[in-house]
Structure 1
């Protein structure tokens, strides 16, 4: 298993080729292209069946949905920009005003940003979960805070995802993100050293969730460096992506950055497995498997498409 086995799947290549035959113009931008290469196979199969049953009407709809469009671009870029621009792990001024409430009441609010941050720091022992460093460590959101501020204004984000991922998957993600407790919960937070946080925001690496122990005290994730690609405005949907390297020990494309684990005194490399632990799965829960899975998929879309690096000017050219 590697960082992007989807790109090597012959069944996926066949489905994309079949789907392209129903498109009026089988081209899109690299964001739409990357979404297809990481989409749920069942979703693509459903699209093909719909085309076969009602070719003219559905083909026009599919062409419009899969070609370059602002809705999808804004949705994926919203994921990238939200992580980098506002996800500081610190509550805003408005949120800080809530601290005037009585302490007993405040402790009952599981979505209180300050309390969630404290719980995360206690769970992770104020250390970066990857490097083991204690300074400078930041509490970061797995899912950006802006995506958990209610459904209003985020309809385009979820609508864009439903074109590529099954309703079951999108509903599960949506339920977690829009949970009444919000995204400011311990299960949506991790401690990372500042450089690791920035690399994660830029989709330079991703964390693949592997397993959660039955008692929910241990969570295994796998680390993968991701290739740094350029955004492309136009490209065939059938273009075969280059496989993601599975043995990297640093960033690529001439921008060399490494992460080191201070315990093992070694570079963090693709394929390394990390075990996150908690002594209290109820009061200090581990990161959510559902949220990590959403992060795993969308971060790789960012990496393959180059969307994390593109400017609005480049996208509009």
Structure 2
């Protein structure tokens, strides 16, 4: 796509301005679904003093591509970073639209069509050099002459964004209203303490069971009583 061009954050700028314990909520949730070393790789490029404002966290996209990207209508799957970090290859994907539901059938594997030629609402993109349409599966290569002074976007951050955009599209949450999303976030937040750590809520029934177990332990610990 051509002009106008926008500088886009991979890890959102708004999240970078949150309090530390608020930021940790996101990472703690990601820790549930991915290995700790994977999440640590995603974090490493944005935990410095400049936070989100580093070249590794930025992409230049046309205005319409930016809007489609942040709406989870499309995604960039990182494929390969050259050893000298002067070349980055990504695969372009149009993402399908799914109806949001609080319940999902875990026996049905989600699918990502590999032949999509447009967004769910028929938005289309063209290669300005070849004047050919851009379809799912096409490769995009970014290059730099100096990986130190002009580094390419972070492979790891792009991988995180690829996964999250894919989840947003496949789950239908990309089209959830702000009100619905706020209610969901309130439910999630109930599982966190004020410092951002996850806490386990126990019912009165489970508490009573634990007390009974403790009493049983005391009996076995003091057989002469």
TM-score w.r.t. the length of structure 2 is 0.75
**Residue 263 (structure 1) aligned to one of 129, 134, 137:** 129
C-alpha contact 2:10 2:157 (8 A) present in aligned 1? yes
Q: For each residue in 1:184-226, what CA deviation from the matched residue of structure 2 results, as whole angstroms up to 9, or x when unmatched?
A: 1111111111110000001111111111112211111110111
- Say yes or no: does 1:195 pair with 2:64: yes
C-alpha contact 1:147 1:177 (8 A) present in aligned 2? no
Partner of 2:160: 294
| 2-structure distance, mates of 1:262, 1:200 | 19
Partner of 1:136: 4
Partner of 2:99: 230
| 2-structure distance, mates of 1:268, 1:308 | 22
**Residue 249 (structure 1) aligned to one of 91, 97, 117:** 117
Gaps spanning 5+ residues in structure 2: where?
A: 185-225
Deviation for aligned residue 1:242:
4.1
- Relative to its length, the structure with more helix (as a share) is 1
Partner of 1:154: 23
Q: For each residue in 1:104-126, what CA deviation from the matched residue of structure 2 results, as whole angstroms up to 9, or x when unmatched?
A: xxxxxxxxxxxxxxxxxxxxxxx
Partner of 2:146: 280
C-alpha contact 2:124 2:133 (8 A) present in aligned 1? yes
Deviation for aligned residue 1:314:
4.1
Q: How many residues align structurally?
A: 182
Secondary structure of the 1:308 match is helix
Larger Rg: 2
Deviation for aligned residue 1:233:
2.0
RMSD: 1.7
TM-score w.r.t. the length of structure 1 is 0.54
Deviation for aligned residue 1:297:
0.8
Deviation for aligned residue 1:234:
2.5
C-alpha contact 1:208 1:296 (8 A) present in aligned 2? yes
Gaps spanning 5+ residues in structure 1: where?
A: 1-130
| 2-structure distance, mates of 1:151, 1:312 | 23
Deviation for aligned residue 1:279:
1.3
Partner of 1:305: 171
Partner of 1:174: 43
Q: For each residue in 1:144-175, what CA deviation from the matched residue of structure 2 results, as whole angstroms up to 9, or x when unmatched?
A: 11233362322221111111111111122122
Partner of 1:81: none
**After TM superposition, what 4+ stretches of structure 1 lie above 6 angstroms from structure 2?**
none
Residues 221 and 288 of structure 1, relative CA distance in 2, 3 Å threshold: same
Secondary structure of the 1:152 match is helix
